[in-house]
Chains A and B, each alone.
Chain A
């Protein structure tokens, strides 16, 4: 059974950065794909990017290119999502999710991390 445990809520100023963590347990961390999905208040789900820890490089939706960096630390089975140049519209719940090897759906989700951007 895979568990994804995320870091807590953050309040940030516009223009600053936030780094959210996601610690995985169960399964083989290096082999599956970890993704980040966000949900603005009252809105739908939006995929931001992914990383395969075994390969190391992140892959991002064009909308977030240049602002988001996804990394993974295999020694601690933890993935990170850093978003820079924050704007009020980045206020959202950020979820880490897993895609199993060979699949294209999200079978495990973290509990979500609230990020609020406000002056």
Chain B
């Protein structure tokens, strides 16, 4: 089945930029979606179709997808960005229709 790999953790100082990679075989051929999950809460969609932000998501959050790596970028990081982030793709070739990445904990120093 299709595997999405993320680093377990990323640490960033306030005001700096956090980049969260999501690695998958030829991932650029798929649409990648990203979720933010704060402690004790349900996930929230923050980017879909590689680059699109849902209504209400700040412009500081952006996505990209190229080669074998999709990336979620959070600019001008704030304390409120501290959360787990998961990438996700649709896998039409498997019974496991929806595949999630392993997740990355973003810590704001």
Interface positions of A (Cβ within 8 A of B): 35, 37, 44-47, 50, 59-63, 95, 103-107, 109-112
Contact = CB atoms under 8 A, between A and B. Distances in A.
B70 to A, nearest CB: 13
A79 to B, nearest CB: 16
Given A37-B98, A109-B43, 13 more contacts: A46-B100, A47-B96, A47-B100, A50-B97, A60-B95, A61-B97, A62-B96, A63-B96, A104-B90, A105-B33, A105-B90, A106-B45, A112-B42
Contacts of A62: 95-96
Contacts, number: 58
A58 B62 CA distance: 34
B75 interface: no
The bracket for how many chain B residues form the interface is 20 to 34
B44 interface: yes
Contacts of A50: 97
Interface of B: 31, 33, 35, 42-45, 48-49, 54, 86, 88-90, 95-103
B100 A109 contact: no
Contacts of A95: 42-43
A35 B96 contact: no
Contact of A106 (B43, B101, B102, B103): B43
A46 B86 CA distance: 11
14 contacts: A37-B98, A45-B88, A50-B97, A61-B96, A63-B96, A95-B42, A95-B43, A103-B48, A104-B31, A104-B90, A106-B33, A107-B48, A109-B43, A110-B42
Contacts of A45: 35, 43, 86, 88, 100, 103
Contacts of B90: 104-105
A95 B35 CA distance: 14
Nearest to A61: B96
A44 B45 contact: no
